[in-house]
Amino acid sequence: MVMGAHMAMARLMRAPNPTPTFFVALFIAVLSCMVMLPFGSPMATTAEALMRFKKTLQLGNESATLSSWDPNKDPCNGNKVNWVGVLCFNGNVRGLQLENLGLQGKLDLEPLTRLPYLKTLSFMNNSLAGPLPDLKNLKLRSVYLSYNHFSGEIPDDAFEGMILLRKLYLGNNQFTGKIPSSLTTLPKIFDVGLEENKFSGQIPEFRQKGLKRLNLANNELEGPVPESLSKLDPSSFSGNGKLCGPPLAGKCSDPPPPASPPSPSAPPSECSGDSCGTSKKPSSGLKIALIVVSILLLLALIAVILIFLNKKRQQSELDVAESLDDSASKYTAAGGSSQMDVKSVEATPHPKKGDHGKLSFVRDDRQRFDLHDLLRASAEILGSGTFGASYKALIMTDAVVVKRYKQMNNVGREEFHEHMRRLGRLTHPNLLPLVAYYYRREEKLLVSDFVENGSLASHLHGNHNSDQPVLDWPIRLRVIKGIARGLTYLYSALPSLVVPHGHLKSSNVLLDENFEPLLNDYALLPVINMEQAQHLMMAYKSPEYAQHRRITKKTDVWCLGIIILEVLTGKFPENYLKQSFDSRADLASWVNGMIKEKRTSEVFDVEMGGVGSSKGELLKLLKIGVKCCEEDVERRLDLTEVVEKIDELNEGESDGDYRSSVSSEGDDYTSQVV
């Protein structure tokens, strides 16, 4: 239409005596252009689209929070969110996270097609029903629809053309039929959850090299597991009785060939009859050759420019890394604080370019500084943890901690940015908030507040001086209650993660000036390289991973149990040092052994003061810790039970009250402990 307008104007300028026909043509062309122009502000369009979408929802009792959706207010103000459940970035709606709201009925996503920057949809833990909604008209990267009541067969072409899709969670629904073959053609998909449905038939070939997780557990699939999936964890295929072949133990007998994705059909021929055999005229061939040569020269020029820019970017990254390494070596040699000197850092305006030299802040309530400030600040090394070194840096009047990670390449750049922004939205009195982060392909920096009181581990196992208070019983009980509350919040705020913390141990629990615990290093499992995670993170040192090569929703509970026993006994758990679970070096096994030998009184830390008449409460907490550490996941307490039992504990209670209260439970534990 725009071209038509230009052509009409050109004719008008050339015509010596324009006729009314030309004026009519010009008027129509200009009118067409005006129709193409968007009316209203982007805010009005975005708010309008979201309000239209809200009207399609059948809101449950928990969805009163959507009352914040005010059509007269912009959903996003920069990175600040004005509407609950909306994810914002640079003033645009990047996602919707409407989880645990009791939403019902069918899901109509058509109104959301007017949101050009929409990348993420999450409707987990609702009561949505009906067929899978049409996703193809949205340029999504992540879709979370688990734990609903969706049903029916998914059309074979349901994901056709969704070339940006990386994550798809459809688990715990009632889908039937075959796994859609269009899912196997997505080039960037790396995380797929189809577990707990009723999918049947054979598993199609997934040939994506970047596929890291495909969970097909508890369906009705049959036949051989495709060779391309044979290296996945066997638990990904459990609960499908008719599946066979690696990585499963059962061998296949005369397996039929696995279903394959449809190969793209050949394009229709553009010639017919004898015309295909007719050779082109020499002049036409010459013209084509000249066009091809011109295009090749242009491509070569673009390639040279890109190589130059890439080398410049790599040099900038190298300078940042060398500046950090230099600061570490200076500190080690001098034995004191150091200056983190930056040689050359170039900032780019947007995370999509890598933000080399630029810190990305995820919270609005912190003072802003850039990487230059951070690297030139007075700094000291706090230590070298599981994944890398930590630095304390003084920025103006505030102290921050910078942690370096070199094993955070489990997801791509966009997924990393998205996950960090999600962590930045977490707010709870028992979480250490993430302040900012820095992305570089080879390593990442995470910035958080400095906590003067140090870690729980340092208080339990460090060398105590006269100025440092000993952790008495009231403080230890307060710490355990705070850890449980923080963990509960993570489970409610991050329901899509199987293990919302993943690395819970006493060195990752910091204590503020009031000895309130702050959980640290949480929710990093999705971004840590899987190989390193399996060797280093606490979740993979659990009994269930050692026995069944899987982690569950109760894995963090096991980690919490180890901390409870560590706090009560004062013993350093050898579990932290082992690469995998070993009952011979398990703190819970030692406690159980002492209980069986009727030596329970020897279990508790002799340095723990303030016990007084609290022996009954101590024993109750000891029992909770042991039950959290059950090797059998089915017998282990779930987090809700743990929190309820811990909240009932007080700082003091008579032994007689305890003896009578637990004796009524009638378990063997009572006679052993009391």
DSSP string, 593-652: HHHHTT-GGGTS-TT----TT-HHHHHHHHHHHHHHT-SSTTTSPPHHHHHHHHHT--S-
Judgement on whether residues 511 and 445 belong to the same structural domain of the protein: no
CATH (domain of 69): 3.80.10.10
Q: Is 97 or 376 the better-scoring residue by pLDDT?
A: 97
Q: Does a structural domain hold residue 501?
A: yes
Judgement on whether residues 236 and 363 belong to the same structural domain of the protein: no
Close Cβ partners of 572 (under 8 Å, ≥ 6 residues apart): 457, 460, 461, 566
Asked if the model's pLDDT at residue 218 lies above 70, the reply is yes
- State the pLDDT at residue 355: 47
Judgement on whether residues 436 and 498 belong to the same structural domain of the protein: no
Per this entry, what is the length of the chain?
Answer: 674
Asked if the model's pLDDT at residue 339 lies above 50, the reply is no
Domain boundary among 450, 479, 509: 450
Asked if the model's pLDDT at residue 177 lies above 90, the reply is yes
> What is the DSSP secondary structure assignment for residue 584, as one 8-state letter?
G
> What is the DSSP secondary structure assignment for residue 447, as one 8-state letter?
E
Q: Does a structural domain hold residue 413?
A: yes
Q: Does a structural domain hold residue 283?
A: no
Judgement on whether residues 533 and 569 belong to the same structural domain of the protein: yes
Asked if the model's pLDDT at residue 318 lies above 70, the reply is no
Judgement on whether residues 573 and 664 belong to the same structural domain of the protein: yes
Judgement on whether residues 576 and 671 belong to the same structural domain of the protein: yes
Per residue in 272-306, pLDDT (tens digit) is 444 444 444 445 677 788 888 888 888 888 888 88
Per residue in 597-639, pLDDT (tens digit) is 999 888 998 888 767 767 889 999 999 999 999 999 999 999 9
38-48: average pLDDT: 60
Judgement on whether residues 367 and 236 belong to the same structural domain of the protein: no
- State the pLDDT at residue 36: 39
CATH (domain of 327): 3.30.200.20
* Cβ 181 vs Cβ 205: under 8 Å: no
Asked if the model's pLDDT at residue 178 lies above 50, the reply is yes
Kindly state the helix (H) or strand (E) to which residue 306 belongs, with its residue range.
helix 282-334
Q: Does a structural domain hold residue 258?
A: no
- State the pLDDT at residue 284: 66
What pTM does this model have? 0.52
Domain boundary among 189, 211, 244: 244
Distance, CA of 413 to CA of 589 (rounded, Å): 42
Give the least confident one: 28-37, 48-57, 330-339, 606-615.
330-339
- State the pLDDT at residue 257: 56
- State the pLDDT at residue 65: 62
**pLDDT interval class at 464 (50, 70, 90):** low
Task: Work out the percent of the chain whose per-residue pLDDT is above 70.
Answer: 75
- State the pLDDT at residue 524: 94
Q: Does a structural domain hold residue 23?
A: yes
Judgement on whether residues 506 and 531 belong to the same structural domain of the protein: yes
Report CA-CA distances (Å) from 534 to 211, 398, 530, 540: 18, 35, 6, 5
203-222: average pLDDT: 90
- State the pLDDT at residue 125: 81
Q: Which domain covers residue 146, as residue numbers?
A: 56-244
Q: Does a structural domain hold residue 274?
A: no
Count up the domains in the chain and report the number: 4
- State the pLDDT at residue 586: 86
Judgement on whether residues 17 and 119 belong to the same structural domain of the protein: no
53-57: average pLDDT: 90
450-465: average pLDDT: 84
Q: Which of 509, 482, 488, 497 is nearest to 553 (CA)?
A: 497
Judgement on whether residues 441 and 526 belong to the same structural domain of the protein: no
Domain boundary among 401, 427, 450: 450
Judgement on whether residues 669 and 554 belong to the same structural domain of the protein: yes
570-598: average pLDDT: 85
Q: Does a structural domain hold residue 292?
A: no
Per residue in 71-111, pLDDT (tens digit) is 888 888 876 778 888 888 778 898 898 887 888 899 999 99
Judgement on whether residues 405 and 323 belong to the same structural domain of the protein: yes
Give the least confident one: 383-392, 501-510, 593-602.
383-392
Q: Does a structural domain hold residue 262?
A: no
